[in-house]
Amino acid sequence: MIKATPGWLDAHRNSRPYHDEYGHTPVFSGAPNELAEPARLAAAAQTAFNSHSKQTGAHISPFDTGLVRVGTDGLEVRLMQTVDMAQLKQNVAAGTEATIGRERPTGAGPMSDLMVVPAERWQEMFRGGLQAALESQTLVFEVWGASRILTHQLVRSRRAGFHQQSQRSTWYGDRPEVRMPETVWRAGAGVRMAWINAYEAAWTAYSRACDADVPYEDARYILPEGTVNYIQCEYTVREFMAVFAYRGCSMFLREMVEVMRMMRSLVVETVPELEPFIKISCEKGPVETRRCTFQGWENVELACDFPWARQDNRTFIAAPKLRIGAQ
Protein backbone atom coordinates (compact mmCIF):
# COMPACT_ATOMS: atom_id res chain seq x y z
CA MET A 1 0.00 0.00 0.00
CA ILE A 2 1.11 3.60 -0.65
CA LYS A 3 1.62 5.15 2.81
CA ALA A 4 0.66 8.67 1.69
CA THR A 5 -1.08 9.92 -1.42
CA PRO A 6 1.56 11.48 -3.73
CA GLY A 7 1.12 15.19 -4.34
CA TRP A 8 0.83 14.72 -8.10
CA LEU A 9 -2.11 12.34 -7.59
CA ASP A 10 -4.06 14.80 -5.40
CA ALA A 11 -3.38 17.58 -7.92
CA HIS A 12 -4.58 15.45 -10.82
CA ARG A 13 -7.78 14.39 -9.08
CA ASN A 14 -8.59 17.96 -8.07
CA SER A 15 -8.11 19.10 -11.68
CA ARG A 16 -10.70 16.74 -13.18
CA PRO A 17 -14.04 18.26 -14.27
CA TYR A 18 -15.98 15.51 -12.50
CA HIS A 19 -14.18 15.94 -9.17
CA ASP A 20 -16.64 18.25 -7.34
CA GLU A 21 -19.39 19.24 -9.73
CA TYR A 22 -20.42 15.84 -11.00
CA GLY A 23 -19.31 13.38 -8.36
CA HIS A 24 -20.27 9.89 -9.52
CA THR A 25 -22.99 11.01 -11.92
CA PRO A 26 -22.12 9.82 -15.44
CA VAL A 27 -21.53 12.53 -18.01
CA PHE A 28 -22.52 11.47 -21.53
CA SER A 29 -20.66 12.84 -24.52
CA GLY A 30 -22.14 12.34 -27.96
CA ALA A 31 -25.46 10.87 -26.83
CA PRO A 32 -27.64 10.52 -29.97
CA ASN A 33 -30.46 12.93 -30.69
CA GLU A 34 -33.53 10.79 -31.27
CA LEU A 35 -34.67 13.04 -34.13
CA ALA A 36 -31.31 13.50 -35.82
CA GLU A 37 -29.80 10.05 -35.46
CA PRO A 38 -31.05 7.79 -38.27
CA ALA A 39 -32.85 4.83 -36.76
CA ARG A 40 -31.57 2.69 -39.62
CA LEU A 41 -28.06 2.68 -38.08
CA ALA A 42 -29.20 0.78 -34.99
CA ALA A 43 -31.52 -1.37 -37.09
CA ALA A 44 -28.65 -2.31 -39.40
CA ALA A 45 -26.49 -3.41 -36.47
CA GLN A 46 -29.31 -5.49 -35.04
CA THR A 47 -29.91 -7.08 -38.42
CA ALA A 48 -26.30 -7.82 -39.34
CA PHE A 49 -24.59 -8.92 -36.13
CA ASN A 50 -25.07 -11.95 -33.95
CA SER A 51 -27.32 -11.75 -30.91
CA HIS A 52 -29.52 -13.98 -28.76
CA SER A 53 -32.36 -13.92 -31.28
CA LYS A 54 -30.16 -15.01 -34.18
CA GLN A 55 -28.05 -17.86 -32.89
CA THR A 56 -29.10 -21.44 -32.16
CA GLY A 57 -26.74 -22.05 -29.24
CA ALA A 58 -23.65 -22.84 -31.32
CA HIS A 59 -21.95 -19.51 -30.54
CA ILE A 60 -21.45 -19.78 -26.79
CA SER A 61 -18.07 -19.36 -25.10
CA PRO A 62 -16.73 -22.40 -23.21
CA PHE A 63 -15.38 -19.89 -20.67
CA ASP A 64 -18.81 -19.11 -19.17
CA THR A 65 -17.56 -20.47 -15.84
CA GLY A 66 -17.83 -17.60 -13.33
CA LEU A 67 -14.22 -18.28 -12.31
CA VAL A 68 -11.86 -15.53 -11.20
CA ARG A 69 -8.41 -16.86 -12.07
CA VAL A 70 -5.58 -15.49 -9.93
CA GLY A 71 -2.18 -14.84 -11.51
CA THR A 72 -1.52 -17.35 -14.28
CA ASP A 73 -3.78 -20.08 -12.91
CA GLY A 74 -5.62 -21.96 -15.63
CA LEU A 75 -3.33 -20.94 -18.48
CA GLU A 76 -2.73 -23.84 -20.85
CA VAL A 77 -0.50 -23.99 -23.93
CA ARG A 78 -0.32 -26.85 -26.40
CA LEU A 79 1.88 -27.33 -29.45
CA MET A 80 -0.30 -28.16 -32.46
CA GLN A 81 2.45 -28.25 -35.07
CA THR A 82 6.16 -28.66 -34.53
CA VAL A 83 9.23 -28.66 -36.76
CA ASP A 84 10.42 -31.41 -39.10
CA MET A 85 14.04 -30.97 -38.07
CA ALA A 86 15.48 -33.16 -40.82
CA GLN A 87 13.74 -31.06 -43.46
CA LEU A 88 14.62 -27.78 -41.72
CA LYS A 89 18.31 -28.75 -41.73
CA GLN A 90 18.10 -29.33 -45.48
CA ASN A 91 16.39 -25.98 -46.03
CA VAL A 92 18.78 -23.88 -43.99
CA ALA A 93 21.89 -25.66 -45.30
CA ALA A 94 20.73 -25.10 -48.88
CA GLY A 95 19.78 -21.50 -48.11
CA THR A 96 23.19 -20.81 -46.56
CA GLU A 97 25.07 -22.31 -49.49
CA ALA A 98 22.84 -20.83 -52.21
CA THR A 99 25.03 -17.75 -52.50
CA ILE A 100 28.01 -19.75 -53.73
CA GLY A 101 25.96 -22.37 -55.56
CA ARG A 102 25.40 -26.03 -54.68
CA GLU A 103 26.42 -29.27 -56.27
CA ARG A 104 23.52 -31.28 -57.65
CA PRO A 105 22.58 -34.28 -55.52
CA THR A 106 23.14 -37.72 -56.99
CA GLY A 107 20.94 -40.76 -56.72
CA ALA A 108 17.17 -41.12 -56.34
CA GLY A 109 15.05 -38.79 -54.25
CA PRO A 110 15.01 -35.00 -53.89
CA MET A 111 18.14 -34.81 -51.73
CA SER A 112 19.64 -38.31 -52.08
CA ASP A 113 23.29 -38.13 -51.06
CA LEU A 114 22.76 -34.73 -49.32
CA MET A 115 20.27 -36.10 -46.78
CA VAL A 116 22.81 -36.08 -43.95
CA VAL A 117 23.64 -32.50 -43.00
CA PRO A 118 26.57 -31.93 -40.62
CA ALA A 119 25.91 -29.59 -37.70
CA GLU A 120 28.27 -26.90 -38.92
CA ARG A 121 26.28 -26.62 -42.16
CA TRP A 122 22.75 -26.28 -40.77
CA GLN A 123 23.72 -24.26 -37.68
CA GLU A 124 25.41 -21.52 -39.73
CA MET A 125 22.14 -19.76 -40.55
CA PHE A 126 21.01 -19.92 -36.92
CA ARG A 127 24.12 -17.95 -36.02
CA GLY A 128 23.16 -14.96 -38.16
CA GLY A 129 22.86 -13.66 -41.70
CA LEU A 130 19.63 -13.21 -43.63
CA GLN A 131 18.02 -16.29 -42.01
CA ALA A 132 15.22 -16.36 -44.60
CA ALA A 133 15.21 -20.18 -44.74
CA LEU A 134 14.17 -20.24 -41.07
CA GLU A 135 10.78 -19.09 -42.34
CA SER A 136 10.27 -22.35 -44.24
CA GLN A 137 8.58 -24.07 -41.30
CA THR A 138 5.91 -22.94 -38.87
CA LEU A 139 5.20 -23.60 -35.21
CA VAL A 140 1.53 -23.55 -34.19
CA PHE A 141 0.41 -23.16 -30.58
CA GLU A 142 -2.96 -23.14 -28.85
CA VAL A 143 -3.48 -21.05 -25.71
CA TRP A 144 -6.49 -21.41 -23.41
CA GLY A 145 -7.30 -18.94 -20.64
CA ALA A 146 -5.44 -15.98 -22.15
CA SER A 147 -6.81 -12.63 -21.01
CA ARG A 148 -7.70 -10.05 -23.62
CA ILE A 149 -4.81 -8.01 -22.22
CA LEU A 150 -2.41 -10.80 -23.15
CA THR A 151 -3.90 -11.34 -26.60
CA HIS A 152 -3.69 -7.59 -27.35
CA GLN A 153 0.06 -7.94 -26.87
CA LEU A 154 0.48 -11.30 -28.59
CA VAL A 155 -1.04 -10.07 -31.85
CA ARG A 156 1.44 -7.19 -32.08
CA SER A 157 3.91 -9.65 -33.67
CA ARG A 158 3.37 -8.60 -37.26
CA ARG A 159 5.04 -11.60 -38.87
CA ALA A 160 2.88 -14.12 -37.01
CA GLY A 161 -0.63 -15.40 -37.63
CA PHE A 162 -3.47 -15.59 -35.10
CA HIS A 163 -6.96 -17.06 -34.83
CA GLN A 164 -8.76 -15.75 -31.76
CA GLN A 165 -12.07 -16.42 -30.06
CA SER A 166 -14.47 -13.63 -31.06
CA GLN A 167 -16.42 -11.39 -28.72
CA ARG A 168 -18.30 -10.21 -31.78
CA SER A 169 -19.75 -13.50 -32.96
CA THR A 170 -19.84 -15.35 -29.65
CA TRP A 171 -21.91 -14.87 -26.52
CA TYR A 172 -19.46 -14.97 -23.63
CA GLY A 173 -22.09 -16.07 -21.12
CA ASP A 174 -23.64 -14.66 -17.95
CA ARG A 175 -20.36 -14.83 -15.99
CA PRO A 176 -17.39 -14.96 -18.40
CA GLU A 177 -14.20 -16.22 -16.77
CA VAL A 178 -11.77 -13.45 -15.82
CA ARG A 179 -8.18 -13.14 -14.66
CA MET A 180 -6.99 -11.17 -11.63
CA PRO A 181 -3.25 -10.31 -11.38
CA GLU A 182 -1.54 -11.70 -8.32
CA THR A 183 -0.52 -8.18 -7.27
CA VAL A 184 -4.20 -7.29 -6.96
CA TRP A 185 -4.86 -10.38 -4.87
CA ARG A 186 -1.95 -9.54 -2.58
CA ALA A 187 -3.15 -5.95 -2.18
CA GLY A 188 -5.67 -7.14 0.39
CA ALA A 189 -9.30 -8.17 0.78
CA GLY A 190 -10.62 -4.65 0.16
CA VAL A 191 -8.95 -4.34 -3.23
CA ARG A 192 -9.88 -7.90 -4.16
CA MET A 193 -13.56 -7.32 -3.37
CA ALA A 194 -13.58 -4.03 -5.30
CA TRP A 195 -12.37 -5.94 -8.37
CA ILE A 196 -14.89 -8.73 -7.86
CA ASN A 197 -17.69 -6.17 -7.48
CA ALA A 198 -16.55 -4.56 -10.73
CA TYR A 199 -16.62 -7.94 -12.45
CA GLU A 200 -20.10 -8.60 -11.10
CA ALA A 201 -21.32 -5.23 -12.34
CA ALA A 202 -19.83 -5.82 -15.79
CA TRP A 203 -21.34 -9.30 -15.98
CA THR A 204 -24.77 -7.92 -15.04
CA ALA A 205 -24.59 -5.10 -17.61
CA TYR A 206 -23.40 -7.49 -20.33
CA SER A 207 -26.12 -10.02 -19.54
CA ARG A 208 -28.85 -7.39 -19.53
CA ALA A 209 -27.70 -5.99 -22.86
CA CYS A 210 -27.60 -9.45 -24.46
CA ASP A 211 -31.03 -10.33 -23.02
CA ALA A 212 -32.33 -7.12 -24.60
CA ASP A 213 -31.01 -8.46 -27.92
CA VAL A 214 -28.20 -5.93 -28.18
CA PRO A 215 -25.73 -7.45 -30.69
CA TYR A 216 -22.71 -9.15 -29.10
CA GLU A 217 -20.69 -6.76 -31.27
CA ASP A 218 -21.89 -3.89 -29.06
CA ALA A 219 -22.52 -5.66 -25.75
CA ARG A 220 -18.83 -6.64 -25.54
CA TYR A 221 -17.84 -3.02 -24.79
CA ILE A 222 -18.58 -3.63 -21.09
CA LEU A 223 -16.55 -6.83 -20.70
CA PRO A 224 -13.36 -6.43 -18.62
CA GLU A 225 -10.01 -6.73 -20.37
CA GLY A 226 -9.28 -9.52 -17.91
CA THR A 227 -11.90 -11.68 -19.66
CA VAL A 228 -10.20 -14.87 -20.86
CA ASN A 229 -10.44 -16.60 -24.20
CA TYR A 230 -8.73 -18.93 -26.67
CA ILE A 231 -6.11 -18.00 -29.25
CA GLN A 232 -4.09 -19.93 -31.82
CA CYS A 233 -0.62 -18.56 -32.60
CA GLU A 234 1.43 -19.36 -35.70
CA TYR A 235 5.11 -18.42 -35.89
CA THR A 236 7.80 -19.29 -38.38
CA VAL A 237 10.89 -20.66 -36.64
CA ARG A 238 12.62 -17.36 -37.32
CA GLU A 239 9.78 -15.28 -35.85
CA PHE A 240 9.38 -17.44 -32.76
CA MET A 241 13.08 -17.11 -32.00
CA ALA A 242 12.75 -13.33 -32.31
CA VAL A 243 9.55 -13.09 -30.26
CA PHE A 244 10.89 -15.27 -27.47
CA ALA A 245 14.17 -13.34 -27.37
CA TYR A 246 12.11 -10.27 -26.50
CA ARG A 247 8.96 -11.48 -24.76
CA GLY A 248 10.59 -14.26 -22.76
CA CYS A 249 12.21 -11.56 -20.60
CA SER A 250 10.84 -11.52 -17.04
CA MET A 251 10.28 -7.75 -17.25
CA PHE A 252 7.14 -8.21 -19.34
CA LEU A 253 3.56 -8.97 -18.40
CA ARG A 254 3.64 -12.00 -16.12
CA GLU A 255 1.01 -13.76 -18.22
CA MET A 256 3.04 -13.14 -21.38
CA VAL A 257 6.26 -14.45 -19.83
CA GLU A 258 4.47 -17.59 -18.62
CA VAL A 259 3.00 -18.31 -22.07
CA MET A 260 6.27 -17.64 -23.90
CA ARG A 261 8.23 -19.94 -21.62
CA MET A 262 5.60 -22.66 -21.85
CA MET A 263 5.81 -22.41 -25.65
CA ARG A 264 9.59 -22.69 -25.57
CA SER A 265 9.46 -25.73 -23.28
CA LEU A 266 7.10 -27.51 -25.68
CA VAL A 267 9.32 -26.77 -28.69
CA VAL A 268 12.51 -27.87 -26.94
CA GLU A 269 10.79 -31.02 -25.72
CA THR A 270 9.88 -32.05 -29.27
CA VAL A 271 12.93 -30.61 -31.07
CA PRO A 272 15.88 -30.59 -28.60
CA GLU A 273 18.30 -29.41 -31.29
CA LEU A 274 16.62 -25.98 -31.26
CA GLU A 275 17.26 -25.42 -27.54
CA PRO A 276 20.53 -23.46 -27.97
CA PHE A 277 18.88 -21.03 -30.38
CA ILE A 278 15.67 -20.12 -28.52
CA LYS A 279 17.03 -17.80 -25.86
CA ILE A 280 16.21 -14.46 -24.28
CA SER A 281 18.40 -11.78 -25.87
CA CYS A 282 20.48 -11.30 -22.74
CA GLU A 283 21.27 -15.04 -22.50
CA LYS A 284 23.22 -15.03 -25.75
CA GLY A 285 27.01 -14.84 -25.75
CA PRO A 286 29.62 -15.61 -23.07
CA VAL A 287 28.32 -15.35 -19.49
CA GLU A 288 31.08 -13.00 -18.42
CA THR A 289 30.09 -10.37 -21.02
CA ARG A 290 26.31 -10.57 -20.76
CA ARG A 291 24.29 -7.39 -20.28
CA CYS A 292 20.63 -6.68 -19.57
CA THR A 293 18.94 -6.09 -22.94
CA PHE A 294 15.50 -5.01 -21.67
CA GLN A 295 14.29 -2.05 -23.74
CA GLY A 296 11.60 -0.67 -21.42
CA TRP A 297 11.36 2.32 -19.09
CA GLU A 298 11.17 0.24 -15.92
CA ASN A 299 13.93 -0.36 -13.39
CA VAL A 300 15.25 -3.93 -13.67
CA GLU A 301 16.74 -4.14 -10.17
CA LEU A 302 15.12 -6.99 -8.17
CA ALA A 303 12.71 -7.68 -11.06
CA CYS A 304 14.91 -10.33 -12.72
CA ASP A 305 16.90 -13.22 -11.27
CA PHE A 306 19.75 -13.00 -13.77
CA PRO A 307 22.88 -11.63 -12.07
CA TRP A 308 23.57 -9.29 -15.01
CA ALA A 309 20.12 -7.61 -14.65
CA ARG A 310 21.40 -4.37 -13.13
CA GLN A 311 20.70 -0.78 -14.01
CA ASP A 312 24.41 -0.12 -14.47
CA ASN A 313 24.70 -3.08 -16.86
CA ARG A 314 21.91 -2.30 -19.34
CA THR A 315 22.21 -1.74 -23.08
CA PHE A 316 19.33 0.76 -22.95
CA ILE A 317 18.34 3.36 -20.37
CA ALA A 318 15.30 5.55 -20.94
CA ALA A 319 15.55 9.34 -20.81
CA PRO A 320 15.19 10.65 -17.22
CA LYS A 321 11.68 12.04 -17.85
CA LEU A 322 10.44 8.66 -19.05
CA ARG A 323 12.17 6.45 -16.52
CA ILE A 324 10.02 4.43 -14.12
CA GLY A 325 11.23 3.54 -10.64
CA ALA A 326 14.09 6.02 -10.60
CA GLN A 327 13.68 8.94 -8.17
pLDDT in tens for each of the 327 residues of the chain? 567 878 888 888 788 776 655 456 676 777 776 655 566 766 777 778 999 999 999 999 999 999 999 999 999 999 999 999 988 998 898 888 888 887 777 777 666 556 678 898 889 899 888 899 999 999 999 999 999 999 999 999 989 999 999 999 999 999 999 999 999 999 999 999 999 999 999 999 999 999 999 999 999 999 999 999 999 999 999 999 999 999 999 999 999 999 999 999 999 999 999 999 999 999 998 999 999 999 999 999 888 999 999 999 999 999 999 999 765
What's residue 41's pLDDT?
67
- Tell me the CA distances in angstroms from 208 to 97, 203, 282, 306, one per residue in order: 63, 9, 50, 49
Do 67 and 216 lie in one domain? The reply is yes
Is 30 a domain residue?
Answer: no
For residue 234, what are the domain limits? 59-83+137-279
Do 166 and 290 lie in one domain? The reply is no
Do 249 and 193 lie in one domain? The reply is yes
Neighbours of 67 (CB within 10 A): 16
Distance CA 68, CA 87 (A): 44
Is 98 a domain residue?
Answer: no
Do 147 and 244 lie in one domain? The reply is yes
Is 99 a domain residue?
Answer: no
Provide DSSP, 31-96: PPPTTTS-HHHHHHHHHHS--TTT--S-SB-TT-S--EEETTTT-EEEEEE---HHHHHHHHHHHH
Is 253 a domain residue?
Answer: yes
Is 255 a domain residue?
Answer: yes
Do 302 and 179 lie in one domain? The reply is no
Distance CA 81, CA 161 (A): 13
Domain count, the chain: 2
Asked whether 231 and 144 are in contact (CB, 8 A), the reply is no
Residue 142 makes CB contacts below 8 A (sequence gap 6+) with 77, 78, 80, 230, 231, 232, 233
Distance CA 59, CA 255 (A): 27
What's residue 147's pLDDT?
98
Q: Kindly report the length of the chain.
A: 327
Do 299 and 245 lie in one domain? The reply is no
Do 150 and 258 lie in one domain? The reply is yes
Do 64 and 173 lie in one domain? The reply is yes
What do you get for the CA distance between the two ends of the chain, in Å? 18
What's residue 128's pLDDT?
87
